[in-house]
Structure 1
C-alpha cells in the first residue's frame, strides 16, 4: 500500500490551506484565490454582510475590504449576475434536451415575469416622498386638533366649547 502526501500544503477540516506561522516571526500576507473570490461573490449575491462574509472565508473585515474591494463595490449587481448565471446553465441543459431543465426554465421565467410585474406596480419614488411630507407628527397633529376643536357643527364637542356672552 502506497501513501501519498502533498508536502507543500496542509489543509484544515474545511479544506482551507493552513497558513504557516507557528514559531515564525510575523504573519504571512494573505493571498486571495479564485475560489475565495467566487465564494465572496456568491455570499454577496445572497445578501450577506461584510462581517459574515469575512467570517466565512475566514479573514478579518479589513482583509476582506483590502483584497476583495472590486467584488464589494459590485455588491448590488451580484444577485442579478447569479440569477443570470442560473438562467444560462438551465438554458444550456434545456438546449441539450433535458426535460427537467425545460420545466425549471419555465418556472424561472414565470418568477422573473412576476417580479418584473411587481416592480412596475410599485409607486414611483416621487409619490412616496409626497406621502411622507403630508404626514404630521403627534405634536403637530395635537396642535391642529386643538385649534380646530369645536369649529364644525357636527363635531363631538357640540356646544360645550361655545360660551355665549363671553368674549375671549
Structure 2
C-alpha cells in the first residue's frame, strides 16, 4: 500500500480533500508522544491540542496510553535509563556521566521516601466492613467509659 506523508511527516489519510473531516491515524510516533506528554503531567485537553485533534479523538485512538497515565512517568524514566545504559555500555562517556546523575537522583528519592516513612508501593487497604459487620464488632468491644458499656463488657466476658 502506497502511503503519502504531509509536511509534518504524518500519513495522509484516505479521502483527504473530499467531503467530511479525514479520520485521524494513530502512529507509533504519536503514541510515544502521548506517553511522553503524560509523563510530563499534561492533561488530555492539552495533549489533544498538541496533536491537533479533539479530546474525544484522543480518547478513542490513544485509550491504551491514557489507561496507564499513572505509570507514564515511570515508563518514560525506565526507557531513558535503559537507553543511557546501552550507550554507557558502548563506551559513551557523556552517557556514563548522565547515567550516574540519574542513578544518584533515584538513590536520593528512595532515601527520602524511606526517611519519611513513605512506601513507594501502594499500601494494602483493609477491606471495608458493611453496616452489620461493623455493628457486630462494636457490640463485641463496647465502650467501657460508659456505665452501659461497662455492663456489656462484663456480660461478654467468659466465665
Q: TM-score, normalised by structure 2?
A: 0.64
- What value does the CA root-mean-square deviation take over the aligned residues? 2.3
Structure with greater Cα Rg:
1
Stretches of structure 2 that go unaligned for 5 or more consecutive residues are 120-159
* 1:111 alignment partner, SS class: helix
Q: Deviations over 1:22-55 (max 9, x none)?
A: 4x33223222111111111111111111011101
CA spacing shift, 1:65–1:34, aligned 2, 3 Å: same
The answer to whether 1:109 aligns with 2:103 is yes
Stretches of structure 1 that go unaligned for 5 or more consecutive residues are 1-6, 126-168
CA spacing shift, 1:96–1:29, aligned 2, 3 Å: same
What is aligned with 1:9?
Answer: 4
What is aligned with 2:35?
Answer: 41
What is aligned with 1:60?
Answer: 54
What is aligned with 2:115?
Answer: 121
Matches within 5 A, 1:15-164: 15-17=9-11, 21-22=16-17, 24-122=18-116
Q: Is the 8 A contact 2:81 2:99 kept in 1?
A: yes
Q: TM-score, normalised by structure 1?
A: 0.61
Q: Is the 8 A contact 2:44 2:55 kept in 1?
A: yes
CA spacing shift, 1:8–1:87, aligned 2, 3 Å: closer
Equivalent-residue separation in structure 1 for 2:94 and 2:28 (angstroms): 31
